[in-house]
Amino acid sequence: MAPSSSIEAHCTFTLASDVTAGGLPSEEEIAKDLESSDNNVKKHALKAAIMAMLGGETMPRILMQVIRFCINSDDKQLKKLTMLYWEVVPKYQELTGDELLLQASGNAVQRKLLPEMILVCNALMLDLTHANEYVRGSMLRFLCKVKDEEILGPLIPSIKNCLTHRHSYVRKSAALCVFHISKMHADHLIPDGPELIAQFLSSETDMAARRNAFLMLINENEEFAFEFLGQHIQEGITQFGDGFCLLVLELTRRVCRRDPTQKSRFVRVLFQMLSSNSAAVSYEAAWTLVSLSGAPTAVRAAAVTYANLLNGQNDNNVQLIVLDRLESLQLKHGKIVQELLMDIMRALSSPNPDICQKVLEIVMESVNARNVSSVVTTLKRELQKSLQEDSEKSVAVRHLLVDTIHDCAKKFPEVAESVVGLLMELLSSSDRTSLQVATFVRAIIQEHPPLRQTLLPKLLDSIGDISSPPVMCVTLWILGEYTTPEDAQETFDAIVKEVGSTPFVIADEIDEEKDENDTPKLVTKNIVLADGTYATQTSYSQAKIVEEDKTPKLRKMIVVHGDVFVAETLASSLTKLNIQFPCVDKPRTAKTVLIICAICKLAESGSTVSMAQRSSASDCQDRCTLCCRILLDPKTRELLKPILLEDGKKQLGNYLLKVAEEQPQKKKKDEAKPVAQADDLIHFRQLKTMAVNAGDVDLDDGADLARATGFTKANTLAEELSHCYPLSGFADPVYAEASVTVHDYDIVLEILVINRTPNTLADLTIELSTMGDMKIVERPQAHNIGPHDQTTIRASIKVSSTETGHIFGTIVYTDMATQEQKLINLNDIHMDIMDYIRPATCSDEMFRSMWAEFEWENKVAIATSINSLSDFLDHIVESTKMKCLTDRPEGDKSTFLAANLYARSVFGEDALVNVSVEKKEDGKLAGYIRIRSKTQGIALSLGDRITSVQRGNDK
């Protein structure tokens, strides 16, 4: 975008606005302060002058004051401010009326330099020949920003002399300055620039200076750059530093993009840089080599480099970037990635769950029958390491490892037996991994019958170590469902031993004061010392040792905690074992009936902790009644025996089959997405102009730029207009409207300001303020707007959390016709929470875990005109940008619907929503939507959003 003024064209810096406190001083005050002998006063005055000129003031008197009182100062900070002033100050005389007419007619007008600029050029030349290398280097860096040929012309000899200075700081700055001048005015000022820099490069030893010189050669004269590379390729390019190597890679991509036949010239250089000690150089060389060549040797070398970077870098961001490259490499060269799979798996030692997840995704895509044993061995080793740590991250990594082992066992059944033994140890853990392992064991036993004989005894042995009620339910169901008639009696006796005696009564605990001998007691007594004197001795009596509770965990779940679900599963499993006995075993049947009666008594007592278990007490009694009928009535036993022993396996088999069918469908949908649409334009590299080919566009800069700016698709006009807000009315003297662009953590405001009066408005400033967790990081600057003119003002706002926020403010300006200061209040801009919400997915176990953990809840009553349950759920999902985790029933015959929704914000915050809705007899929907989150802001904001959108359209 072209600059809106000549000041913006030359302004390349920002300055702290501490001098604006209380208003900027006038031109006379600044001129007077510049005459002061105190350097601090001069600095403050010079800062004020720069800020005023940035706001549109001309201040012609200040130029001569700066030349007189600041140009010869030895203060380094004052010299730096003086250079910034030279950037801002107008350097040319104003055009006369005749010259303006001539310029308007399309003729070129030669602008005249101000006479004071001769003194400025003399001062610049003195700094270029200064004895201090810092002053010289700073002046050379400043000249890189000067574009005026009349100012640079007299300084060329001094700049060339700086190329031979003894200090490397001066030489590298001089090389950069020569590059800038050659790029802007090569023909007039420095026609021999490439030859001069090529000679300088051949004798230069400093890495930074050599890099700057080579930067000029690859942009101004590539032949000299090729000649230098050819002379030093035997010595090794990596010895010249990281910056130089990155420039060589840029030259490689540029030349090969323009002329693909030149690839062979750079292959040797690329292979040298693959072994560089710099991670940036080796990474860039690897992906450049892959983009230039698809040969197996080149791809393998690049993949080895990626693997080394993955294991040699501790930065999580670097590892994630490298893993992304390996994933893209895997799509086209999967066999090469398979060869390096064990090296890639070394990254599983990282404590970061995101890195482990990406590694495991690559592993599951590359595992085959030849390497599955090695992969499973490595996974088992990492799982054992995670068992030794109890941190939250290790639990997440353990969950991922178990998932991957499960997938490997499903793909390759021959390894299932080798991993189940280790996974059995996890059944005793208290986190969600134990339930995951139990589910995995259940699937293995169902899908691989030959393994049942080995796994069931191990499962029976571990039942005494299980402490999680859901895991106990799964374990009892497996034992009751898959135990063979030959082992039924042994399994029955082992489970009954864990249950203990009946009835289930908690022993009365007598809450009396502890005996004096049971607690430590302070004892003081007098003793006689060896010399016959008396002394006092104080000691503690030994406390009584408390005996460890040896109650079996299964009995403790039922009797102490009153878990109805475990008790109900126990009754069902014992009944299944009884009907598998070769003949009716009356003692065991009687024992089972006693246990079932004790369970019924427990359900009647209402001693359960959970409200859900209290509501299930009647279901438990019905189930127990059915089990007693099966045990005591031979006809009922014969009738229900096939159902009890076979239908459970069939239903589990159907469920596993459905899960297995859904996963490949998701993968096929991802792979079926077209890379390009049928009506997309086709870009022919040969038909592009040489300027585009030789530009700075890299081989895949398009994707990188889109990813960096947050745009994955082009914004339509409708999307842009939906984020356009009018800030003032059409009747106001100044009309303003804001276009809001949200880039994750940043909000960019582009405010269009139109002067609707015939007068000039001076010092027009938009003063913005925010409510919520937002902070203004770039405030709008003051502008002068002519009659009926317009300008665009930008502001940046930083957002740190998902919370509804407001942006409000005023427009302050001075009407030059009346010299009155006026103020216009602006409309508020309401920031929508939906700009930060992204749909995400998680497992049911993780959802329940987060639901129990999060403390902030917002409950919204359902009041809608929508009559269909599925339509209402679709409307909520679409309006909140959330992902529905619950499978929907086919058809719309049900009168009740419960669904879980999940989303994550760009700040990593989780949002959980539970929709419970039922259809009343009159056809209207009623119920509640509950929102839970870790922070209050997202819960309240999402609740407000649902309240405003849930009514939908009238049906």
On whether the CB atoms of residues 837 and 949 are closer than 8 A, the answer is no
* Cβ-defined contacts of 178-183 (< 8 Å, 24+): 178/216, 179/212, 179/215, 179/216, 179/219, 179/220, 180/143, 180/144, 181/143, 181/152, 181/156, 182/216, 182/220, 183/219, 183/220
Q: At what angle do helices 76-88 and 133-143 cross, to 10 degrees?
A: 10
In whole angstroms, give the CA distance from residue 292 to residue 934: 48
Predicted local confidence at residue 678, as pLDDT? 57
The number of helices, as runs of H, and strands, as runs of E, in the chain is: 42, 18
Burial class for 538, CB neighbours closer than 10 Å (0-12, 13-18, 19+): exposed
Question: Cβ distance 789 to 753 under 8 Å?
Answer: no
Backbone angles phi, psi at 942, to 5 degrees: -70, -35
> CB–CB of 301/289 below 8 Å?
yes
Residue-level length of the chain = 955
Pairing of strands 534-540, 522-528: antiparallel
The DSSP H or E segment spanning 333 is none
Neighbours of 121 (CB within 10 A): 18
Angle at 412 between CA 408 and CA 416, to 5 degrees: 75
Tell me if 727-831 shares its fold with 835-951: no
The two structure tokens encoding residue 273? 């840089």
Task: Return phi, psi of residue 811, to 5°.
Answer: -105, 125
Q: Which tokens in the block code for residue 869? A: 């349950």
From the list 601, 660, 596, 668, the residue with the least C-alpha distance to 628 is 596
CB atoms inside a 10 Å sphere around CB 718:
7
Q: Where are the domains of the chain?
A: 448-503+551-660, 727-831, 835-951
Written as six digits, the tokens of 883 are 């992902």
Return d(Cα 271, Cα 282) in angstroms, integer: 9
Q: Name the nearest CA neighbour of 773 among 944, 940, 904.
A: 940
Give the pLDDT score at 657: 81
Nearest to 630 by CA among 590, 579, 577, 587: 579
The token pair at 788 is 């009926």
Cis peptide before 503 (omega within 30 of 0): yes
What is the distance between the terminal CA atoms of the chain, rounded to a whole angstrom?
Answer: 48
* CA-to-CA dists, residue 482 to 466, 597, 639, 645, 854, angstroms: 19, 25, 20, 9, 39
Average pLDDT per run of 10 along the chain, which is 955 residues long?
Answer: 40 52 73 83 84 77 82 81 81 74 71 79 82 83 81 82 84 84 78 80 80 81 78 72 80 78 75 80 83 80 86 83 86 83 84 84 84 84 75 71 81 76 71 76 81 81 80 85 84 82 56 48 69 69 53 74 79 84 80 83 64 62 83 83 82 80 53 52 54 37 42 52 81 88 78 89 86 77 85 83 76 85 86 75 81 86 84 86 79 79 83 89 86 83 82 48
Q: Indicate the class that CATH gives domain 835-951.
A: alpha beta
Assign domain 727-831 one CATH number from 2.60.40.1230, 1.10.10.10, 3.90.79.10, 3.40.50.720: 2.60.40.1230
Say if residues 67 and 122 touch (Cβ distance below 8 Å). no
- Among residues 652, 479, 674, which one has the least CA distance to residue 578? 479
User: Where does residue 669 rank: exposed (0-12), middle (13-18), buried (19+ CB within 10 A)?
Assistant: exposed
Q: For residues 787 and 816, what is the distance between their CA atoms, to the nearest angstrom?
A: 10
- The pLDDT assigned to 486 comes to 84
Please tell me what DSSP assigns to residue 113: B
Positive or negative torsion for Cα 902, 905, 908, 910: negative
Q: CA 614, CA 606: separation in Å to the nearest integer?
A: 6
Please tell me the distance from the alpha carbon of residue 397 to that of residue 419, in angstroms, as a whole number.
17
How far apart are the C-alpha atoms of 844 and 860, rounded to whole Å?
Answer: 23
Q: Which H/E stretch holds residue 261?
A: none
pLDDT at residue 569 in the model = 84
Q: What is the pTM of this model?
A: 0.62
Q: Which residue has the tokens 């080798």?
A: 418
- pLDDT, residue 701, reads 41
